[in-house]
A and B are shown apart, each in its own frame.
Chain A
Amino acid sequence: MPPPRTREGRGHRDHHRTFREEEEPERWDWNLPETRRLFEDAYFRDDDYIRQGSEECQKFWSFFERLQRFQNLKTDRKEEKDPEAPKHSIPALADLPRTYDPRYRINLSVLSPDMRRSRERGQRLPPKSVSEFRWALLHYLDFGQKQAFGRLAKLQRERAALPIAQYGKRILQTLEGHQVVVVAGDTGCGKSTQVPQYLLAAGFSHVACTQPRRIACISLAKRVGFESLSQYGSKVGYQIRFESTRSSATKIVFLTVGLLLRQIQREPDLPQYQVLIVDEVHERHLHNDFLLGVLRRLLPRRPDLKVVLMSATINITLFSSYFGGAPVVQVPGRLFPITVVYQPPPEVEPTTAKSEKLDPQPFLRVLETIDHKYPPEERGDLLVFLSGMAEISTVLEAAQTYATHTQRWVVLPLHSTLSVADQDKVFDMAPPGVRKCILSTNIAETSVTIDGIRFVVDSGKVKEMSYDPQAKLQRLQEFWISQASAEQRKGRAGRTGPGVCFRLYAESDYDAFAPYPIPEIRRVALDALVLQMKSMNVGDPRTFPFIEPPPTASLETAILYLRDQGALDSTEALTPIGSLLAQLPVDVVIGKMLILGSMFRLAEPVLTMAAALSVQSPFTRSAQSNPEYAAARRPLESDQGDPFTLFNVFNTWVQVKSERSRNSRKWCRRRGIEEHRLYEMANLRRQFKDLLEDHGLLAGAQTRRPGDSYSRLRQRRERQALYQLKRQHEEGGGRRRKVLRLQEEQEGGSSEEDGASASRAASDGGVDIQDVKFKLRHNLEQLQAAASSAEDLTRDQMVLLKLVLGRGVYPQLAIPDPFNSGRKDSDQIFHTQTKQGTVLHPTSVFASSPEVLHPQDPESRAGDRSREDKDKMSSKHQLLTFVSLLETNKPYLVNCVRVPALQSLLLFSRSLDTNGDCSRLVADGWLELQLADTENAVRLLAAALRLRAHWEQALDQQLARCTRPRLEDDDEEAPTVDRKVVAALSRDLLQFTASKVPYSLRRLTGLEVQNLYVGPQTITSAPSLPNLFGSSTLSPHPTKGGYTVTDFLTYNCLTSDTDLYSDCLRTFWTCPHCGLHMPFTPLERIAHENTCPDAPQGSPPGAEEAAEPLKKTSALQRPYHCETCGKAFLFTPTEVLKHQKQHV
């Protein structure tokens, strides 16, 4: 027993218990909670090493039990007396205890309670039990020390064993003499984790390290924090779009390239950093390429700034020479030898037409080969690179059949649209004798690293988004990969041991591959980049010194597009709307929606929709085939369109979250909704909101907290509890690797997350950490208020919302095919201006109920069933607006909203052409509208002109406000655009949209488009209608013929054979305002109305009739005819008095 250092257990007082160990030792029961509590009270107090009730306390007791069991096993340890040895000559050895006791091997001691405190405790504890307890406690502490030191030593060993460890000094030395250093090393050499630490160790304290992906920022910050032994200090932090762990103590921060660019935008000289590490430059991301250009210009201005470019060993000279021959430190990767097997599939006759679908046979053959050649006890998993999701599911199906048969494989898909839980599965372990077969897109090439891969199958193909800016079309196309990618894929087989790479193509194919992948800047739309360049004042994008310049054509297209969208003016300078858009991290189209929405005081719903449209669809793929999900989801669907469905989903989810008793995770799962996307929406929504507030487009958040001091206290407590939960979760280390079940794959691959995440939740102690983080980040009350107000969206607000959406996404419109009403639901076709025969995305609400798109007027339903929709005169023709067009195996319209055709085209078209009497209109040169009634046509046209002008004006005011620098405290009232102006505009827009005018709608044929215009006329007879469209003066259009009315409207330029006499047909008409009675053509009549001196001013004439019901805002209003001015009004009694005063 331990040498008695302190005296314990004096005095056995007779309280409720008496412990006389000599008499009743067997009654001392360590398992009794009361017994334990006695010791806990004495030894595990608040300022002790272990605290009562903590997790550690539980750990101790289970350690205690194990120790007791262990000691019972070897009862009666033989006290070995060493033979008397002579006293040692070395003093340190002379006084060693001669009788061995394990206690002497522990280098620490626990102070007993009564040494620290004045008695009272520990007194009624029997000495034997006390020493038993202390003995266990010492062992426990010693064990903890050994464990922690073991971890530390292992960590240091691993760090030192990394290939880059040999190069640390050289990198630092090179950096001393040069401003820019290129560190080139392959995956696994450790550059991303180690170089930042070398810099820290060398004394740098303001280090930024950029990453192309957000996820890498988080994981690297964690890893580097851990390795630099400051995991819970704050030396290492990260900063991404929605999260930051950065503090004043942070010495190194991992951040995304986009974020760094924004910091440069604010402070062009980046004074906050000493060293900048740009990681993964070889990936040639758009923003990375741009950043390099920005840095090259910055370096002369910041001679003290050091830059480390980190790259795989790909094309290193490109980077080195771009920075004037920067020195390169090349680090060899750590790869085991990999055998390459070329296995091109046998030539198939090209006549077999079904080349569309991938043949899974070559992949199965590899599985068989592995099963035959390698015994199952030799571990090692298989990673298969496929070009896309469709290919993955094809091979998945076949491989699973094989796996069920052999019981030797667990097949798992891996791509970016999988749920997070399913993605995580690839890191789990297969049971003994079973291999994982991971079917992946190129995501596993660089972004995701999976340990234990021994075999790689490379299909040699990749699908990449290519972008056609003219068609606003994203196209997912399949390409051969580059040699660099092929090598990268191969390398994945040799990370943990020698490996094999099966290439499903010929060596000659490989030789023909391009050496490197095409940089992003050469294949994507550059609108966002150009916008950012403009807002960063880097000058003309055409002359910017890119490392490799983008194609001139795509630059020009981007500039043109931005001018079209009103983000750049005619001198290519940033407009107010442009500078705002540059700060919104979204598509220009969605940015515009936000601005428009805030103007109409629809900010809350528009924020949600804009956020919803900016993240991936929350609907999981498996849900499409699951009728239960579909049924559960139905109440959330809106037949107005997909953004409205997403809007409902988000709002209902927020409601579920705010109800304490309900579990939002379960709610999502039952509906086939990926909750992660909803969290993303919430984050994005808040970011949008902050931006709008910053720019004065939205009144600032209510800073005053509602409620009394009690509820404030309660809220603070709740938050504290949440923080506590979050901390606990973080200490728990998150997810652990699990062993996969063999049956798992029979249940259908990717959809069975239920069980997995449920058990995960249980292991987390039931804490949904996402939920905790969400509640910490967002003001749930505010969100809930916004969500419940969404339920009360009036019909009018709904119509305005659709207008905002429509104007935002214009010209992304599709027209239903005229034969759709006779087709099956799944066969509905739509045409855009540039793309014929597009279809609805299967997740779209219209895919299941396309009938809401068919123009079925009750009046026209009677007889003419036979007529096609295109000839149908109806006031209910509709178009589909869509947010994006995605081409995979078919061109899909994504995120559609149905809008009234005539009104939308009149309000949004970039070009509107008319015939002589305006009964025939052509919008943007591809959609023809034929109105039955000229008078209606002209009225609507004139109303549209006016509305567009008013709308533009209001928008300009709104934007002028937000670009004005905001002074502190000048926004008490924050009047954006004059409330009255907006209210009037909203009312007029509603009236306009509600107008019911029968018309036909069709898409022009190619031939018609070619012969659309009369062309420039030699004799230009000036039209006798100077005031047809307000005060605009008409000038002949140089190419179309006819007359330019506004920048979008050209009058009478359409070729036609029916309008020869249209201007001659006059009928008698009496002006209701001035009483004039004479023959008029319809156009002359409208011209007169516009200029009639007695006509009431203000609202557009076209909307007058429909205006009645809306105008009755006050029940007190009565028609009033003023004797003095002869005008008719709707006035309340007080208004009558006011009016009469004017004439006095």
Chain B
Amino acid sequence: MACEAERRPLGVFECQLCALSAPYSYVGQKPPDTRSVVLLEESYVLKDPFTADRNKFLVLGSRCSVCSRLVCVGPECSLFYSKRFCLPCVRENIDAFPREIQRDVEKRKMPAKMPCSKPRSPT
């Protein structure tokens, strides 16, 4: 059983593309308190804040397999196709992906500039 300390935030995850930030409580492929589910990539994980169920987790993001940027799982920032890829890398190497992915990426917006990418600084 995971003890209380394990679920305390280890740090703050910040997406290097959209600047989304949230505290994470685990990094790896086997989220604590969860037996039957494994992750297929090294992920930054938070206990799902929207439910009281303690074994529910939420994957925030992971590193791009090409450029190693830390990116969130949001559709504007990355996709998963047997590995995690940030959208800039996908676009750069679009030919390496099957047609379904290519079509899908075309539909997606460019990474959102507003509002999260703006660093929060005093004006």
Contacts and interface: CB of A to CB of B under 8 A. Distances in A.
Interface residues of A, number: 53
A145 B73 contact: yes
Contact of B58 (A80, A148, A156): A148
Interface in A72-115: 80, 82, 85, 88, 90, 92-93, 96-100, 104-111
B97 A96 contact: yes
Interface in A289-341: none
A338 B115 CA distance: 25
B66 A90 contact: yes
Contact of A108 (B23, B39, B95): B39
A149 B73 contact: yes
A629 to B, nearest CB: 40
Interface string A1026-1058: 000000000000000000000000000000000
A230 B52 CA distance: 10
A57 to B, nearest CB: 12
B35 A149 contact: no
Given A104-B82, A105-B81, A167-B122, A85 B96 contact: yes
Interface string A99-133: 11000111111110000100000000000000000
Contacts of B95: 85
Contacts of B116: 156-157, 160
A126 to B, nearest CB: 21
A152 B39 contact: no
A765 B15 CA distance: 41
Interface stretch (A8-16, A43-51, A437-445, A1136-1144): A43-51
Interface in B101-123: 101, 115-116, 118, 120-123
A149 B60 contact: yes
Contacts of B20: 152-153, 156
Interface residues of B, number: 53
Contact of A152 (B49, B53, B79, B123): B49
Contacts of A111: 35-38
Contact of B46 (A88, A100, A141, A229): A229
Contacts of B72: 149, 153
A173 B60 CA distance: 30
B86 to A, nearest CB: 11
A170 B93 contact: no
Contact of A49 (B55, B98, B121): B55
Nearest to B84: A107
B51 A98 contact: no
B35 A166 contact: no
Given A109-B38, A727-B52, A170 B122 contact: yes
Contact of A100 (B43, B50, B101, B121): B101
Decide if the interface of chain B is mainly helix, strand, loop or mixed: loop
A165 interface: yes
Nearest to A95: B82
A157 B51 contact: no
A231 B50 CA distance: 7
Contacts of B35: 47-49, 111, 116
A49 B53 CA distance: 10
Contacts of A141: 37
Contacts of B41: 107
Contacts of B123: 166
B82 A96 contact: yes
A66 interface: no
A82 B22 contact: no
Interface in A124-169: 141, 145-146, 148-149, 151-153, 156-157, 160-161, 165-169
Contact of B34 (A49, A90, A97, A232): A49
Given A100-B100, A111-B36, 6 more contacts: A47-B35, A49-B35, A109-B38, A153-B72, A160-B120, A731-B51
Give the 3 A-B CB pairs with smallest separation, nearest first: A92-B65, A229-B49, A100-B98
Interface of B: 20-23, 34-41, 43, 46, 48-53, 55-56, 58-60, 62, 65-66, 72-74, 79-85, 93, 95-101, 115-116, 118, 120-123
Interface of A: 43, 47-49, 56, 80, 82, 85, 88, 90, 92-93, 96-100, 104-111, 116, 141, 145-146, 148-149, 151-153, 156-157, 160-161, 165-170, 173, 226, 229-232, 727, 730-731
14 contacts: A97-B82, A97-B98, A107-B73, A107-B80, A116-B35, A141-B37, A145-B58, A145-B59, A146-B73, A151-B50, A152-B22, A152-B60, A169-B121, A170-B122
